[in-house]
Amino acid sequence: MQKQQKTLCLILSIACAGCQSLQLTKQSAQFQHRFVREQLVLHSDFPLPEQHRLVEELALQRERLSEKLLLPPTDEPIHIYLFAEGASYYDFLNQRFPGFPARRAIFVETDIELSVYAHWGDHVAEDLRHEVAHGYLHASVPNLPLWLDEGLAEYFEVGRGLRGVNQPHVELLAAQANLANWKPDLLRLEQLTSAAEMTQQDYAEAWAWVHYLLESGDDKANLLTDYLADLRQGVAGETLSARLKKRLAGPELAMAEHLQMLR
Ligand SMILES: [Zn+2]
């Protein structure tokens, strides 16, 4: 079976309120359809049924994320801009965000809005679960480290019922580990600052650390939720790798063993 190749996402943080509001006026003409579902504001260039099961799932993700990460839910709107066709989506990206890598879906945070852009293609469910997770996270936790932002989005992009297991990532990391091309290194991931430079393997490893912390038991989820609570309070404190080292003798080996069990 051919391995699924995932397209990376892109997080843009743009501090440009003036030009943004001008652009938004032009943008609203392009999306004739709009409805609000709880925290989500859906804009589309095609009629999207309000009762669509994907919309339902995205709305439920708010509670799922809040329960799993012990974060209080927020009310900041998350705008989702959907294109019926890939071609118009990529044209839009070229005009609106020139110079940025064209990704299958993107999350944009500006001074005034959290927004997601995507097109209604084969991967729309996974893409929207991923990007909307960024939306819920950014509405709640400021200054989330890049690796953790992506690791959590990769965890929540998996459909409900799979306990966050992102199988293509499990396979990729196992293959790279077998070739001696990879071993867990959270300290390295913590140094990453550019989403455009993150590789598929970085996304996979970020996911693997999140899954290990949330799903391997022994109270390790508290390490992650305490860290998120500190970030939320604006207390930088120790990095997650430093916290893990205090708690476990060999977190890298334990994470690799956790991955092995998921195969
Ligand atoms: Zn992402």
pTM of the model: 0.92
Quick check: 204 pLDDT over 60? yes
Contact 96, 90 (CB under 8 A): no
Phi, psi of 107 (to 5 degrees): -115, 130
Could you say which of 3.40.30.160, 3.40.1260.10, 3.30.1370.100, 3.40.630.30 is the CATH number of the domain covering 10-140? 3.40.30.160
Q: Compute the distance from residue 11 Cα to the ligand 1 centre, in Å.
A: 6
Domain chopping of the chain, boundaries: 10-140, 167-261
Residues within 5 Å of ion ligand 1, judged at the Cβ atom: 9, 150, 153
Q: How many CA atoms lie within 13 Å of 236's alpha carbon, on the beta-carbon side?
A: 2
- What does the block give as tokens for 15? 């501090």
Return the CA Rg of the chain.
18
Cα torsion 104, 109, 110, 114: sign: positive
- What does the block give as tokens for 230? 């500190």
- What does the block give as tokens for 46? 């095609």
How confident is the model over 124-180, as pLDDT tens digits? 999 999 999 999 999 999 889 999 999 999 999 998 889 999 999 999 999 999 999
- What does the block give as tokens for 245? 């080292």
Other beta carbons within 10 angstroms of residue 218's beta carbon come to 10
Phi, psi of 168 (to 5 degrees): -60, -35
Q: Compute the distance from residue 240 Cα to the ligand 1 centre, in Å.
A: 19
Q: Compute the distance from residue 9 Cα to the ligand 1 centre, in Å.
A: 4
Q: 19 pLDDT band (50/70/90 cuts)?
A: very low
How confident is the model over 127-139, as pLDDT tens digits? 999 999 999 999 9
Phi, psi of 89 (to 5 degrees): -65, -50
Alpha helices in the chain (DSSP H): 17-30, 53-69, 86-96, 124-140, 146-156, 167-178, 186-190, 200-215, 220-232, 240-247, 251-261
Q: 8 pLDDT band (50/70/90 cuts)?
A: confident
Q: Compute the distance from residue 151 Cα to the ligand 1 centre, in Å.
A: 8
Q: Compute the distance from residue 74 Cα to the ligand 1 centre, in Å.
A: 20
Quick check: 80 pLDDT over 90? yes
Rounded to a whole number of angstroms, the distance between the first and last alpha carbons of the chain is 15
- Angstrom distance (rounded) from CA 175 to CA 183: 11
Residues in the chain: 263
Q: What is the DSSP string of 9-73?
A: -EEEEE--HHHHHHHHHHHHHH--EEEEETTEEEEESS---TT-HHHHHHHHHHHHHHHHHT---
